[in-house]
Amino acid sequence: MEAFIEGLRLVVQWPAIGMLFLGVMIGLYLGAVPGLGGMVGFAMLMPFTFGMDPVVAFALLLGMYAVTTTSDTLTAVLLGVPGTGAAAATVVDGYPMSQRGEAMRALGAAYTGSAIGGVFGALTLALSLPIISPLIVNFAPPEFFMLGVLGLTYVGALSGRSIAKGLIAALFGLLIATVGYSTQGGIARYSFEVNYLLDGFAVIPLALGLFAIPEIVELACRGLPIARHGEDTPVRGQMLQGIRDALKHWWLVLRSSVIGAYIGLLPGVGAAIADWVAYGHAVQSAKDKTQFGKGDIRGVIAPETANNAVKGSDLVPTIAFGIPGSAAMSILLGAFLIHGLRPGPDMLTTKLSFTYSMVWTLVIANVTGAIALMLWSRQISKIVFLRANLIIPAIILFSFMGAWMNKSQLGDWITLLAFGVTGIWFKRAGWPRPPVILGFVLGPIMETNLDITLQAVGWGFVTRPLVIAMIVILAVSFAFELRRQRQMRSGGAVPAANGGEAKTDKLEAAPAPLSNMLLAGAFIALFASALWIARNWAWDAAMFPKVIGVLGIATGALVLAGAIRSYMAAAPGPDDEAMSLPHIAQMLGFLAAIIVLTKLIGQLVALPVMLGVFLAWWGRENWKIVIGQVLAAWAILYFMFGELMKVIWAVPVFDFL
Amino acid sequence: MNHIKSLLAVSTLSMSALALSPGVTGTAAMAADPYYKGKTVKFVVGYRPGGGSDLSCRVFAKHMSKHVAGNPTIIVQNMPGASGANALNYVGEVARPDGLTAICGTLSILLPILEDPALRVDLRKFHYIAGVADSQVMYVRSDVKPGIKKASDVFNAQGLVLGGFRVTSAKDIPERLLADMLGLKYRYVAGLRGDGGGRAAMKQGIINLYMEAVASFGTITMPTMVKNGTVVPLFQSGLLDDNGNLTQKDPALPNIPTFHAFYKAKFGKEPAGQKWDAILSVLGPYAVSQRSIALSPNAPKEAVAALRAGVPATLKDKGFLADAKKSMGEGIQAFGGDRVQKTILKALDVKPEMKKFFRAYVEEGKKLAGRK
């Protein structure tokens, strides 16, 4: 107890408290810019902390780290662009709320959830350090594999109308997660001797491609502001309403905090998974599921609470055992060592007050970060009412640079665009995109841990007590899901909350039957080629691709049959002129041209110039706006990414410098 | 104290070497502005931030600037991927010929030895500036049957399970080779995610035999697993003595025998043979320079000379030594550019039969890492 208070005293002292607030400012900024986040922040700030006292250094580092998952909501809700990998689930319901003109409400609820979740995570850090050992010891690869399997059951919750399509989407996510070196490193799978693919894909370019690119294209094609129906929705009081929403759903907030904190304790499963698990849980546990995916406030609260709760508990295995749970935690472990701190029992004995100072840092940072955002968001959120042309350049810039932060190679942009095309196709065909990300983040956890389990323990792992418990949970949730499906089919449909169709329904173009059929066909072809390529691989490399391939073809055939039927039956609907294929292709061609031009002259010139071309040619804006935006884009690239982030620029064919 | 002496010896050595080489510190350089005045040098690290490579590069970047003529700003950039090959390709192929781009971090010596197609550049053409030595420690869980109380109990151990990353990695291959030399019977599990994953698997008993770098062993594994008796250290792979043998203990681990001594105590003779040669061809160069700083092959001569000239003073810098001690453990061994250059050139001059041996050994590993 004494140490607990001593920890607080250490943090509120000058200069620690100043550094803490500085860290919060930096963290809010890093979280809000897509592609940046806690990991980039650690890498950027660490050199500055070398000379500081440890308490001060960690006030800065953890102050920053605590709030990146608070501010990443901003772009996820306002622009449909996840600010960090941990906000991908927030997009699903947060963005439709923006489109409805309720951005402030979504943000208010998210910030409240983030603050509570973050404080909960910090308390988990304080309380679980002494008792963590059994969890780490008993939660070994077999249990991690089962956790992945359990996570996959959320596909149902994320699929919307068609579970079969959701399943294919998840299998697609699992398949792209197998790209790169197999677990044992024997072969590089589906890499086609391209170096970029050796280590596989990363979640940020994937999520930006699936969610942000389709939004960019649709905004450009329709030319409407993001809040398409928001003119009549009063903005005043929305923030307070959002806060009230979060408090009203206190039970969900609490459960999401527990989910986040628990996932944080498990090394190797980070915030990018916690948000999906919490989201899936919110959907599964809700009585009325009809509004999820269309702007249900609970779909914002759950992931935003969980991804902050991860932050505190994430530190536990790192501090207690030197087992970093995520990439960001490995950097933090490095920072620990640089400051002469050693993980292990010391942190609970001689360094206890320091440990508690970290808890307090997280508490203070989470609360002040949320309050700061509540005060500022009013101004920022006005962008959803701006003309599309004025915000598209910014979304393009941040999506592209966000993807670039992954490996700083043109491959990041090609990935972004390739999954962008996939995302547009999904949207047209009315297929759910979230299961792709879910499959992608769970895939490596399942595959690596099953592989290690089979090598070290063998199939006998199914008799481990925790594994048995998880199999039981799995069976029970299956049974429930089956019963629910039967009920739905027998007409005992789940009642809708507001007794009618939500406004957002009209926004969603009816699924195009042709795109739907072609997508099902394309997936069968994809899974078949994946199977064919994997035919001669060693067992460890081939196991997952083969299972995925077979399941994918079977489910694909089922969906294709239905898609053909509905294509035959479909009456030609009214043409959606704005979203016609040539129109979409033009915009995609424009985005592709950015990549080509960057290859030729480098992005520092290519990006601003192309954004100017977009404004002048597509948007027909006047020259003042064009020049203003081009200069702004250049300044952001040069100062923010170049000078501040030390980003590695593309080396162009024609090198002027 | 041993390491300080060797540091000083190296520094004096490279300084005198530099003084002898023409056009370095001579009148020509005095007359004009220093090459690096007002410039920014980028250290490109081929791994994600936070690891051993990244940390040591950041420590160098922080302290080297004030000892290089012209005091360039030195920044660290990360370009992870393909076991470091992406960054090597970048520095080797596309960096501008201005001497402002250097590779920094663990040099995967096995990439060229295994002729990995991911690596497209010739490591011999880089201009080496400095290197940090590292060695490895192997340790075993104490509850391995029939119970491990002291290191030599490992020879009676039943059911050893050795943990690794990838069958081709520069960690797994020496790890298996060392265990093989001792005649240990083990199962090999590949696929662990970094040392964090390795320590977790050790703690859980999923594996019970593991090897990691001295730096992280001393700073992380010692306080968390050795002190409470979960694991027992067996040996350290050793640093180079004057005759080029791996018989020197790392100053951070005075109580753990070198592999050389451990082997000799058991078998009564010095380690030798093809497997030992293979171990030396990987761990030998690492005992000089596991983590290297090298300028791109197209860097101008005066740039190479200017950076190299800054190394000896950096290695003596109090601030540098203090930061290095914290992040890389007690008493690091670091060397200047000439020594590293020679070592790498020699290490990459691998005989065809040795390459063949490594390829066969990797294939054997793939079979070993099978289902239980």
ipTM of the complex: 0.83
Q: With contacts defined as CB-CB under 8 Å, which chain B residues touch A539?
A: 370-371
* Any domain includes B285: no
- Domain presence at residue B186: yes
Q: Does a structural domain hold residue B95?
A: yes
Q: Report yes or no on B362 lying in a domain.
A: no
Residue A90 contacts residue A110 (beta carbons within 8 Å): yes
Q: Which residues of B17-39 are buried (b: 16+ CB within 10 A; e: fewer)?
A: bbeeeeebeeeebeeeebbbeeb
Q: What is the pLDDT of residues A553-600, one digit of tens each?
A: 999 999 999 999 888 887 766 667 777 888 899 999 999 999 999 999
Q: B117 to chain A: which residues are within 8 Å by CB? A: 193
B225: CATH: 3.40.190.10
Residue A606 in domain: yes
Count Cβ–Cβ pairs < 8 Å, chain A vs chain B: 202
The answer on pLDDT for A636 being more than 70 is: yes
pLDDT of amino acid B27:
43
Q: Nearest CA of chain B to the CA of A446: how many Å?
A: 12
| Contact check, Cβ <8 Å, B50/A452 | no
Q: How many Cα neighbours within 13 Å face the side chain of A333?
A: 32
Residue with tokens 């499963």: A269
Ramachandran category for residue A643: left, alpha or beta (phi over 0 → left; psi -120 to 50 → alpha): alpha
The structure tokens 């781009």 sit at B101
**Amino acid, single-letter form, for residue B308:** R
A585, A453: one domain: no
Listed residues A528, A545, A569: the one ending a domain: A569
- Asked whether residue A274 falls in the same domain as residue A335, the answer is yes
A190 plus A306 within the same structural domain: yes
- Write out pLDDT tens, residues A522-548: 999 999 999 999 999 988 899 999 999
pLDDT score at B287? 87
> CB B326 to CB A340 under 8 A?
yes
Residue range of the domain that includes B154: 136-246+255-273
Which DSSP category does B294 fall into? E
Minimal C-alpha gap between B6 and chain A (Å): 23
- DSSP of A355-389, one letter per residue? HHHHHHHHHHHHHHHHHHHHHHHHHHGGGGGS-HH
Q: Are residues A533 and A627 in the same domain?
A: no
In this model, does residue B4 exceed pLDDT 80?
no
Q: Does the distance separating the beta carbons of B327 and A334 come in below 8 Å?
A: yes
Residue B170 pLDDT class (50, 70, 90 cuts): confident
Q: Are A194 and A411 in contact (CB under 8 A)?
A: yes
Per-residue pLDDT averaged across A252-278, rounded?
Answer: 87
Dihedral sign for Cα A312, A314, A320, A326, please: negative
Residue of A nearest to B197 (CA): A323
- What tokens does A455 get? 């090598």
- Tell me the C-alpha distance between B166 and A198, whole Å: 13
- Mark yes or no for CB contact A267/B48 under 8 Å: no
Per-residue pLDDT, B19: 41
Question: pLDDT per residue over A297-324, tens digit each?
Answer: 999 999 999 999 999 888 988 888 888 8
Let me know whether B266 and B226 are in one domain.
yes
Q: Is there a domain that residue A240 lies in?
A: yes
Overall number of domains in chain B? 2
**B112 has pLDDT over 70:** yes
Say if residue A592 is in the same domain as residue A453: no
Contact A407 B80 (CB under 8 A): yes
Looking at residue B45, its pLDDT comes to 92
A298 or A379: which leads in pLDDT: A298
> Who among B51, B90, B189 is closest to A456 (CB)?
B189
Task: Give yes or no: residues A626 and A532 share one domain.
Answer: no
Residue range A469-476: average pLDDT? 90
> Quick check: B223 and A342 CB within 8 A?
yes
Beta pairing partners, B117:
none
pLDDT over threshold 80, residue A15? yes
**Cβ contact, residue pair B190, A539, below 8 Å:** no
Max CA-CA distance within chain B?
Answer: 72
- What was the pLDDT predicted at A378? 81
Mean pLDDT over B6-28 rounds to 42
Percent of chain A with pLDDT strictly greater than 70: 95
* pLDDT of the residue at A575: 66
Q: Residue A99 pLDDT > 60, yes or no?
A: yes
Q: Are A184 and B191 an interchain contact pair (Cβ–Cβ within 8 Å)? A: yes
> B189, A455: Cβ pair inside 8 Å?
yes
Residue A374 and residue B265: Cα distance in Å, rounded? 68
Record: contact B326-A338, CB cut-off 8 A: yes
Residue A304 and residue A67 in contact, taking contact as beta carbons nearer than 8 Å: no
Q: Are residues B101 and B19 in the same domain?
A: yes
Q: Are residues A190 and A291 in the same domain?
A: yes
Q: Are residues B98 and B83 in the same domain?
A: yes
Please tell me the distance from the alpha carbon of residue A397 to that of residue A400, in angstroms, as a whole number: 5
Determine the average pLDDT of the residues in B273-283. 92
| Contact yes or no for B120/B92 (Cβ under 8 A) | yes
- Mean pLDDT over B36-57 rounds to 87
Minimal CA separation from A449 to chain B, in Å = 8
pLDDT tens, position by position, B182-207 = 999 999 999 898 888 899 899 999 99
Residues 172-211 of B with CB under 8 A from A: 187, 189-194, 196-197, 199-201, 203-207
Kindly report the nearest CA distance between residue B190 and chain A, in angstroms.
5
Residue A506 has pLDDT above 50, yes or no: no
CA distance B37 to B144: 59
Asked if the structure places residue A120 within a domain, the reply is yes
Separation between Cα atoms, residue B261 and residue A561, nearest integer Å: 70
For B75-104, write each residue's pLDDT tens digit.
Answer: 888 888 888 888 999 999 888 889 999 999
Please identify which residue in the block is written with the tokens 């370009």.
B79
Contacts B193 to A, Cβ<8 Å: 268, 448
Give B94's contacts in chain A (Cβ within 8 Å): 651
- In the structure, what pLDDT confidence band is assigned to residue A656 with cuts at 50, 70 and 90? low
Both tokens of B83, joined, read 């076991």
Residues across chain B: 372
With a CB cutoff of 8 Å and minimum separation 6, the contacts of A504 are: A96, A99, A100, A229, A294, A295
B50–A331 CB contact, under 8 Å: yes
Asked whether the beta carbons of B18 and B304 are under 8 A apart, the reply is no
Asked if residue B223 and residue B100 are part of one domain, the reply reads no
E strand or H helix at B154, and its extent? none
Residue A489 lies in a domain: no
Based on the domain organization, do B10 and B118 belong to the same domain?
A: yes
| Confidence band, pLDDT 50/70/90 cuts, at residue A421 | very high
Note the pLDDT of residue A501.
35
pLDDT band, residue A233 (cuts 50/70/90): low
B32, part of any domain: yes
Q: Is A592 within the bounds of a domain?
A: yes
* Distance between CA atoms of residues B41 and B130, nearest Å: 15
Confidence grade of residue A463 (pLDDT, cut at 50, 70, 90): very high
User: In DSSP terms, which residues pair with B138 in a beta bridge?
Assistant: B211, B235
What pLDDT, on a 0 to 100 scale, did the predictor assign at position A494?
42
A367 lies in the same domain as A227: yes
In terms of domains, do B67 and B169 share one?
Answer: no
pLDDT at A278 over 60: yes
Helix ranges (DSSP H) in A50-140 = 54-79, 88-99, 103-128, 133-138
Highest mean pLDDT (candidates A155-159, A594-598, A648-652, B315-319): A594-598
The CA-atom distances, in angstroms, between A351 and each of A311, A357, B19, B225 are 20, 10, 49, 18
Mean pLDDT of chain A: 87
Q: Dihedral through CA B197, CA B201, CA B202, CA B205, nearest 10? A: 180
pLDDT value of residue A261? 92
Structural domain includes residue B284: no
Q: Could you tell me if residue B361 is inside a domain?
A: no
- Domain ranges, residue A439: 2-457+513-569
- Six token digits for residue A452: 């290690």
Tell me which of A183 and A597 has the higher pLDDT: A597
Residue among B224, B227, B363 with most chain A CBs within 10 A, to mutate: B224
> Hey, what are A457's tokens?
């323990």
Residue B24 has pLDDT above 70, yes or no: no
Domain boundary among A569, A590, A609: A569
* Residue A558 burial class via C-beta count within 10 angstroms: exposed 0-12, middle 13-18, buried 19 and up: middle
Q: The tokens of A81 are what?
A: 């662009």
Mean pLDDT estimate for chain B: 87
* Domain count across chain A: 2
Structure confidence at residue B94 (pLDDT) = 82
Query: Which residues in chain B have Cβ-Cβ distances shorter than 8 Å to A47?
Result: 58, 61-62, 76
A369 min Cα distance to partner chain B (Å):
25
Q: What is the pLDDT of residues A283-300, one digit of tens each?
A: 988 888 888 888 999 999
Q: Is B291 in contact with B54 (CB distance < 8 Å)?
A: no
Lowest-confidence segment of A481-485, B24-28, B161-165 by average pLDDT: B24-28
For residues B122-129, average pLDDT = 94
Give Cα separations from A554 to A55, A371, A527, A545, B316 (angstroms): 57, 50, 10, 14, 66
Tens digit of each residue's pLDDT (9 = 90 or more) over A44-97: 787 778 778 889 999 999 999 999 999 999 989 998 888 888 888 999 999 999
B79/B158 same-domain check: no
In this predicted structure, the answer to whether residue B7 has a pLDDT above a threshold of 50 is no
Instruction: State the best of B74, B78, B222 to mutate against chain A, taking most chain A CBs within 10 Å.
Output: B78
The C-alpha atoms of residue B89 and residue B110 are separated, in whole angstroms, by: 15
Length of chain A in residues, anyone? 657
The domain boundary, picked from A569, A589, A609, lies at A569
Nearest chain B residue to A408, by CA? B79
Q: Out of A136, A140, A408, whose CB is closest to B79? A: A408
Nearest to A43 among B78, B199, B370 (CB): B78
Mark whether A392 and A524 lie in a shared domain: yes
A213-241 mean pLDDT:
80
Range with the poorest average pLDDT among A131-140, A327-336, A495-504, B45-54: A495-504
* Contact call for A184 and B167, based on CB within 8 A: yes
Q: Which of A136, A195, A332 sits opposite B86 (nearest CB)?
A: A195
Backbone CA torsion sign across A567, A569, A575, A579: negative
Whether residues B140 and B269 share a domain: the answer is: yes
User: Count of alpha carbons within 13 Å of A388, Cβ hemisphere only?
Assistant: 19
Q: What is the DSSP string of A270-312?
A: -HHHHHHHHHHHHHHH-S--TTTTS--HHHHHHHHHHHHHHHH
| Percentage, residues of chain A above pLDDT 90 | 46
Q: Can you tell me the mean pLDDT for A13-20?
A: 92
Going by pLDDT thresholds of 50, 70 and 90, the confidence category of residue B243 is confident
Nearest CA in chain A to B45: A648
In a domain, A67, yes or no: yes
Judge if A564 and A589 occupy the same domain.
no
Neighbours of A497 (CB within 10 A): 14
B55 CB neighbours in chain A (<8 A) are 334, 337-338
pLDDT at site B372: 59
Interface check for B63 against chain A (CB to CB < 8 A): the answer is no
Given a cut of 90, whether residue B48 has pLDDT beyond it is no
> Exposed, middle or buried: residue A499 (CB in 10 Å: 0-12, 13-18, 19+)?
exposed
Q: Is residue A465 part of a domain?
A: no
A169, A426 Cβ separation under 8 angstroms: yes
Closest CA to A111 of A32, A17, A208: A32
Amino acid code (one letter) for A572: P
Same domain, A264 and A299: yes
In the block, which residue shows the tokens 């402002």?
A: B100
**Residue B5 confidence (pLDDT) above 50:** no
Phi-psi region of B346 (alpha: psi -120 to 50; beta: other; left: phi over 0): alpha
The residue type of B354 is: M
Q: How far is B29 from chain A (nearest CA, A)?
A: 25
Judging by beta carbons within 10 Å of its beta carbon (0-12, 13-18, 19+), is residue B135 exposed, middle or buried?
buried
Show residues of chain B in contact with A205, CB under 8 Å.
Answer: none
Tell me how far apart the terminal alpha carbons of chain B are, to the nearest angstrom. 47
User: Which CATH number belongs to the domain containing residue B71 in this structure?
Assistant: 3.40.190.150
* Together in a domain, A156 and A257: yes
In this structure, which amino acid lies at residue B250? D
Q: Which residues 92-121 of B have a C-beta within 8 angstroms of A?
A: 94-96, 117-118
How far apart are the CA of B95 and the nearest CA of chain A, in angstroms?
8
Which chain A residues are within 8 Å of B50, Cβ to Cβ?
Answer: 42-43, 324, 327, 330-335
Residue-wise DSSP of A344-362: SGGGGTTTHHHHHHHHHHH
Can you tell me the distance from the alpha carbon of A298 to that of A96, in angstroms, rounded to the nearest whole number? 13
Same domain, B44 and B161: no
Is there a single domain that holds both residue B145 and residue B259?
A: yes
Q: What is the pLDDT of residue A53?
A: 87
If asked whether residues B128 and B144 sit together in one domain, one would say no
Quick one: B98 and B43 in the same domain? yes
Q: Is residue B370 part of a domain?
A: no
CB contact (8 A) between residue A334 and residue B370 = no
Dihedral pair phi/psi, residue B163, rounded to 5°: -100, 140
Average pLDDT over residues B246-260: 92
| Closest residue, chain A, to B83 (C-alpha) | A199
Q: Nearest residue of A to residue B59 by CA position? A: A47
The verdict on residue A378 lying in a domain is yes
Give the pLDDT band (50/70/90) at residue B50.
confident
